[in-house]
């Protein structure tokens, strides 16, 4: 018996980063946007005593850890423990399309997908609120992969408020060679703030809030206004660690993208296009520019992790 779950990647249309807190985290005002570029996780019942096993296919498969650190495996174990199930026997196959360590929350997406897949495979019927709590335990970006659509994340990003959004938007993602470590990008953001003399502590940096112009653009379905309101407080840090991303952002903009930004902690770059045709043209120009490893045209918002099939 098996269950397949499809799960979206995210792009942050706003990523406001507050100062460094005493607990080592930053307060965020994070507007998550789910896009159709996504992974599929298939959970298959394993034979007695096989434990949790993993496999992965896709262009970045060799970069995905197939040990206990994989968020899909951790999710399966956490769900089993929550229900008092002894050592679960399940095989999780990840069909990976989301760039690894690309700032699109791919690992978090697989964690969310594994929660939903194992819940269905084991017939547990876990209430959504409980799945959301388990997701938050796994990581700050995991709850959003369950919810999908567009949502404002506060705290470390895990306190979610779904946002009203009209229409569909056309995106292009330019995938870089190699990833960027999210903690390293946050550290670089703090370092740049110190260097600029503004300070990096939460007592020195204004607590970020959602941008009203961005929220209005989403509610109105206004792609041009959304493009003008895209912001990412981690972008300077990602560019400082990976200066070549400036050429990627320029190539997409020159090809007609109406908005461009680094996705989350990078190094994937995200471009908003005015329509599907323009998105294909921007993706083709990015591929031809040689400034990225791959470019994908896609759209959103789309729903969160959901069962796509079973056998």
**Could you count the other beta carbons within 10 Å of the beta carbon of residue 136?**
19
Q: Is 310 annotated as a binding residue?
A: no
Q: Is 105 annotated as a binding residue?
A: yes
Provide the minimum distance between the beta carbon of 176 and ligand ATP in the complex, in angstroms, as a whole number.
11
Whole-angstrom Cα distance, residue 67 to residue 94?
13
List the one residue out of 151, 153, 125, 149 whose CA is nearest residue 139.
Answer: 153
Catalytic, out of 27, 39, 60, 141: 141
Q: Is 49 annotated as a binding residue?
A: no
Q: Is 256 annotated as a binding residue?
A: no
List the one residue out of 71, 69, 63, 68 whose CA is nearest residue 52.
Answer: 68
Question: Could you give the 3-state DSSP secondary structure of residue 285?
Answer: helix
141 is catalytic: yes
Pure H helices in the chain: 71-82, 106-121, 128-138, 142-147, 182-196, 212-220, 223-229, 235-241, 245-254, 276-289
Task: Provide the token pair at 294.
Answer: 């791959």
Q: Which is nearer to ligand ATP, 8 or 102 (CB)?
A: 102
Provide the minimum distance between the beta carbon of 306 and ligand ATP in the complex, in angstroms, as a whole number.
18
Provide the minimum distance between the beta carbon of 220 and ligand ATP in the complex, in angstroms, as a whole number.
27
Q: Which is nearer to ligand ATP, 154 or 223 (CB)?
A: 154
List the one residue out of 36, 264, 31 whose CA is nearest residue 162.
Answer: 31
96 is catalytic: no
Q: Which is nearer to ligand ATP, 43 or 105 (CB)?
A: 105
CB 133 within 8 A of CB 115: no
Q: Is 103 annotated as a binding residue?
A: yes
Provide the minimum distance between the beta carbon of 156 and ligand ATP in the complex, in angstroms, as a whole number.
11
Q: Which is nearer to ligand ATP, 149 or 179 (CB)?
A: 179
Provide the minimum distance between the beta carbon of 296 and ligand ATP in the complex, in angstroms, as a whole number.
14
| 107 φ/ψ angles, rounded to the nearest 5 degrees | -65, -45
Q: Which is nearer to ligand ATP, 18 or 102 (CB)?
A: 102
**How far lies 235's CA from each of 17, 77, 203, 239, in Å?**
11, 35, 22, 6
Sheet-wide strand order for 259-262: 259-262, 269-273, 169-175, 294-300
User: Residues interacting with ligand ATP, by CB under 6 A?
Assistant: 64-65, 69-72, 94, 100-108, 110, 141, 179, 182, 264-265
Q: Which is nearer to ligand ATP, 99 or 208 (CB)?
A: 99
* Sequence-separated (6 or more) residues with CB below 8 Å from residue 175: 99, 102, 268, 292, 293, 294, 295, 296
Q: Is 41 annotated as a binding residue?
A: no
Q: Is 1 annotated as a binding residue?
A: no
**Residue showing the smallest CB distance to ligand ATP in the complex:** 107
Provide the minimum distance between the beta carbon of 276 and ligand ATP in the complex, in angstroms, as a whole number.
25
Work out the angle between the directed axes of helices 106-121 and 71-82 (0-180°, nearest 10): 40
Whole-angstrom Cα distance, residue 204 to residue 198?
7
Known binding residues for ATP: 99-109
The catalytic residue positions are 10, 141
Known binding residues: 99-109
């Amino acid at each position: 018996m098996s269950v397949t779950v499809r799960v979206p990647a995210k792009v942050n249309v706003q990523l406001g980063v507050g100062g460094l807190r005493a607990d080592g985290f930053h307060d965020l005002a994070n507007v998550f946007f789910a896009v159709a570029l996504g992974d599929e996780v298939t959970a298959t019942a394993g034979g007695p005593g096989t434990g949790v096993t993993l496999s992965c296919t896709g262009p970045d498969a060799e970069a995905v850890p197939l040990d206990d650190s994989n968020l899909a495996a951790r999710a399966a174990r956490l769900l089993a423990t929550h229900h008092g199930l002894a050592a679960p026997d399940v095989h999780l196959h990840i069909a990976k399309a989301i760039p690894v360590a690309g700032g699109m929350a791919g690992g978090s997406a697989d964690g969310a997908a594994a929660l939903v897949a194992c819940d269905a495979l084991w017939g547990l019927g876990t209430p959504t609120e409980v799945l959301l709590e388990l997701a938050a335990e796994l990581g700050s970006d995991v709850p959003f992969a369950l919810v999908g659509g567009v949502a404002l994340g506060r705290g470390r990003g895990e306190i979610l408020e779904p946002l009203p959004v009209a229409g569909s938007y056309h995106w292009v993602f330019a995938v870089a060679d190699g990833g960027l470590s999210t903690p390293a990008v946050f550290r670089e953001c703090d370092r740049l703030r110190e260097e600029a003399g503004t300070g990096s502590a939460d007592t020195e940096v204004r607590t970020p809030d959602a941008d009203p112009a961005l929220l209005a653009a989403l509610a109105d379905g206004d792609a041009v206004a959304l493009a003008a309101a895209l912001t990412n407080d981690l972008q300077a840090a990602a560019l400082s660690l990976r200066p070549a991303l400036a050429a990627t952002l320029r190539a997409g903009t020159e090809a007609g993208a109406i908005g461009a930004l680094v996705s989350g902690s990078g190094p994937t770059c995200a471009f908003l296009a005015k329509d599907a045709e323009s998105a294909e043209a921007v993706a083709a120009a990015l591929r031809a520019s040689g400034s990225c490893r791959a470019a994908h045209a896609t759209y959103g918002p789309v729903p969160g992790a959901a069962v796509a099939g079973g056998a």
